[in-house]
Each structure stands twice: as structure tokens, then as C-alpha cells.
Structure 1
Amino acid sequence: MIVNDRQAQAWNGYEGRHWAEHHDRYDAVNAGFNAVLLRHVRPGDRVLDVGCGTGQLTRLAAGLCREAVGIDLSAPMLERARATAEADGVSNVRFVRGDAQVHPFPAATFDVALSRFGVMFFADPVAAFTTVGAALRPGGRLAFVCLDDPRRGDLGPVLGTLVPHLPPTDGDGTGVAEPLSLADPDVTRRVLTAAGFTDVDCVPVEAPQVWGRDAEDAAGFLFAWGPVQHQARNLAPAAAARARAALVDALRPHERPDAVRLRGTAWLVTARRPD
């Protein structure tokens, strides 16, 4: 059952296909945050990865625990996740298509629930985290990273250079509001407390994010990213060229000999299901 129709449409449409086709590039962007999550995995754990996408974190967790299960709305991303796990010979991992807000997880099954930027899109966050909490055994742990204010890292100012060149967002939340739904730690604490979690903690974390080989390559990738394409898809060719050129200029200062690296920032959120 899926209740989050808008996100299901996005992640089974252009957004999900782009992530699946460029999974290695998105992993290069986000892999720096894996370590702060994987330290919460113990041998013998059963791990639930919420919003697992193409499954890199799920596979890595599987290498540290008894079993890892990834759940996501996106059929194309899960197809890629399963194919990569099979190619890598990871046998103790399983991927499920579903809406974590309402998915009928077996009660008290998992020792820890993880998420790498996958929990910001819930239609009803309290209901979703209540469902995830019920899937955890008593005393089970929750650890996820979510976006914070994008101005605190490098990506916000880079994307800010596009503002004069793009039409304003239509305000439906696609690519803007929902990814920042947990950017305020006070909101996150209220949501998790209402969902029955205790010992909620929010800690700022940083990691380098690789966006491309050089500024031109990174700008092309960023310009094709779903939130940007949502605004740029109807631009006339000349306007699109100006926007992309502005993005190249903004990325030039972040070029290194081997890659374009931006300083990524997030919140590491941890909590516990009561005993």
C-alpha cells in the first residue's frame, strides 16, 4: 500500500530513473555520510534501511550485520539496488517496494533503523516514524541523516546562482519543501517524540561531496538533478544555456585536481524505542 502518491510519482518517474541511471554519481555525493550511520550497526543486528534508494547503505550495513532490509517507493531504484547486490554477491540483503509510512512490517523485528536522506519525504512524519518504531524491537535504535539549511554548506550558495535564471517554484513542495522538512532540529525532536521515540539527539555533521570530474561535468549533472529540472525543464534553450553557464562559474572555485568537491552538511539524528 502506498499513501504518498506525490513522492511515488516522482520517484517512479524522472527523479527515480535519473538516480537509478546515475547511482554511482549519487553515491559519490552522499557516501561521505555512510560512516556516521554504520557505526550504529552491530554484529547480529537486523537492519532496516528506510528510503534505501539504490541500496549502497543497505549493502554496506549487510556486511556488518546478520540481515539488512531496504524499503523504498521507487521501482527503478530498487531494480538497481537488487542488481548491484547480486553482482556484489551480497546475499543477506533484501529490498522491498513500499511506503514506510504504512508498510506492514513485522512487529519488533529490527534492531536498528537507518536512513541516508530518505526520511524527509513522508506525507505524515509522525505516522511514518510510529510505523518504523513499531518495527523495532524494544530498545531498538534509530539513526538517520537529513538535510539541514542548505546555506550552511556549499551546495546552497552554488544553487543560489541559478535563482535569477529559473522561474519560481510552483510551491507544490517538489524538490524544495519536503527535503527540508526535518531541517529544524526542534521539529525533528517533536516529530520523533510524538512517534514514541526517546533519547532524541540531533548533531550537525559534514562530509565532502563529489559532484563531478570538473566544473563542466558537475554542472551538467546538477542541472539534470530532479529539483533543478523541475524548474528548468520549460526554459528556452538560450535561457537554459545561461543558467548552466552560471552553474559552471559557481562550481569553478570548488574544482580540485581530481574532482569537484562541495562541503556537505546534514543533521545526524539518533533516537531509541523505549524498552
Structure 2
Amino acid sequence: MTTLPRHVAENRRHWDATADQWVASGERAWARMEPTWGIWGLSNDELPLLPQSLREQRAIELGCGTGYVSAWMQRRGADVYAIDNSAEQLATAERLADIYDVERIEWVHGDAEAVAQPDRSFDFAISEYGAAIWCEPRQWLTEAHRLLRPGGELVFLGHHPLAMVCAPQAGNNNIGVTLERSYFELGELDWTDAAEDPGGIEFNLPIGEWMALFRDIGFEIDNYVEVKAPDSAAGTRFWMPADWSKKYPSEQVWWLRKRQIGG
């Protein structure tokens, strides 16, 4: 058997151990016919990660968790390949797919940095807090590029790097206004010693490094959005205070396209 990289093995352990904590939110998301995104539950009209139609397209979700994004893509007409590092998360996804009688989704237990599919297999790829933050950036983006057909689109949403700069070193406390780590040294964020969430090993990069990486791999940038909390937001979600996110970006979304020439 191939030995998993440390971050893949640790994140598998973490998500298998905590999968029960995400069942209820997965059930709520599956019950919604229209997508909502990220910490603040923004509508697809406000933050259009998914096109209105994916008919006759083959789509992949990289780090599908409980599978609700894959269900939303299937309802838009796509044939979906959904891969996740956690067998326990996939068990929830498959159970909910049976309840909602959703077909044309292939559920796969595996690492989004090494997908057992041929080159140029997909028209559309997405990651919402899956590979986007839990996989090593160059590895998973290179794999996504390999999997997409020329002109194919990748959309991903995760933490904004500024939020990670302001996240306490040990986790467990709310994001604040103190700079806790170097912006230019963002990379691996190891939360394995945290007593509670976030746990696992995350990744992020300065914005300029993201852009250079996309260019080096062979992606063009179609769009980029820095996400703020809506005016109606209150309280704290996932260690993110609404008042903080009304002033500073809590999340980022990249819309990328595989270059046609030389793709």
C-alpha cells in the first residue's frame, strides 16, 4: 500500500473522527434545492459558484464531504464524480443520496491530490472547503488541471488569507484584529494540537502566490471575489465574528479556466 502524505493521513483521521458533527448541516443542505455558500450562506445569485445549467457536462467535486454540492450539480444536469478523503463523510453522502433518490453521482473514497481518472475527463470542477483548504495547493491544483478538458472551469471557495493571518496560532478562539502570523509565510496551517476545531492540517497562500501558481500550472483567472458578511449577519460562525467579516474578507472565491492553447 502507498503511504499517504502526513497531511492527507491526518485529515482523514480528523474528518472520520468528527463526521458525526456535520450530519445535521449536511441534511439541511441536501434539503435545499438552491445552493448557499460559505460561512454566511450566501445565495448562488450573490455568489455564483455554480452555473444555472450543467446539462451534458461531467463535473467533479474535490473534497465532497456530505455531498450536498454534488447533489446541487446533479440537479443542474451534470454527471458527477464526488471524491472525499473521509469514508465516514461519504457514508452520510451516500445515505442522503438514497433518501433523495439522487443518481448519476459516483461516490469515491480517495485523495483529491491523486484522482484515479483519465486526463481531460471533466468539464467542470469545484471545491467548497474541501481540497480548497485541506490539500496542498500545488498538488491538488495540478491534479485539477490534469482532470479538466481544455477550456474547463475550476471554482473554489475557502478562507481568505487575511483571516488566517488573524487566526490565533493554536486555534480554539475567534479570529480577531491582531496579526498572529506572517502573511508572506502562509502555507501549511497545522491545527493538530488544537483542543477543539479547526483540527487537521489546512493550507493557504498570499494572494500573489495563488496567482503565480495558477499561471504556472496553466490556469487563467476568470474572476475573484473577497467575501464579506452580509449586513444582516450577527454573532459568530466557525470562529468568524460577523462584525469582523463586515470589515475584512473572511473568504475568497476563485473562478479559473484551463487554458485552451497547450492545455
TM over 0.5: yes
1:210: how far off?
Answer: 10
1:54: how far off?
Answer: 0.6
2:14 equivalent among 7, 10, 15:
10
Structure 1 residue aligned with 2:23: 20
**Counterpart of 2:77 in structure 1: which amino acid?**
C
CA deviations on 1:68-107 (whole Å, 9 max, x unpaired) are 2211111111111111112112112222111011122221
Structure 2 residue aligned with 1:136: 148
How many aligned positions are there? Answer: 222
Aligned CA-pair RMSD: 3.8
* TM-score, structure 1 as length reference: 0.66
Alignment of 1:183-202 (within 5 A): 184-199=206-221, 201-202=223-224
1:205: how far off?
Answer: 2.9
Identical-residue share of aligned pairs (%): 23
Alignment of 1:1-275 (within 5 A): 2-3=4-5, 4-14=8-18, 16-20=19-23, 22-24=25-27, 29=39, 31-32=41-42, 34=44, 36-39=48-51, 42-118=54-130, 119-122=132-135, 124-148=136-160, 149-150=162-163, 159-160=174-175, 172-174=190-192, 175=198, 178-179=201-202, 181-182=204-205, 184-199=206-221, 201-206=223-228, 265-275=250-260
Gap regions ≥5 residues in structure 2:
31-35, 179-188, 193-197
CA deviations on 1:3-61 (whole Å, 9 max, x unpaired) are 311211111113x3322354346888564265521127532211111111111111001
**Counterpart of 1:6 in structure 2: which amino acid?**
E
Mark the structure with the bigger radius of gyration. 1
* TM-score, structure 2 as length reference: 0.69
**Counterpart of 1:269 in structure 2: which amino acid?**
W
1:126: how far off?
Answer: 0.8
**Counterpart of 1:150 in structure 2: which amino acid?**
A
Gap regions ≥5 residues in structure 1:
164-170, 229-246, 254-261
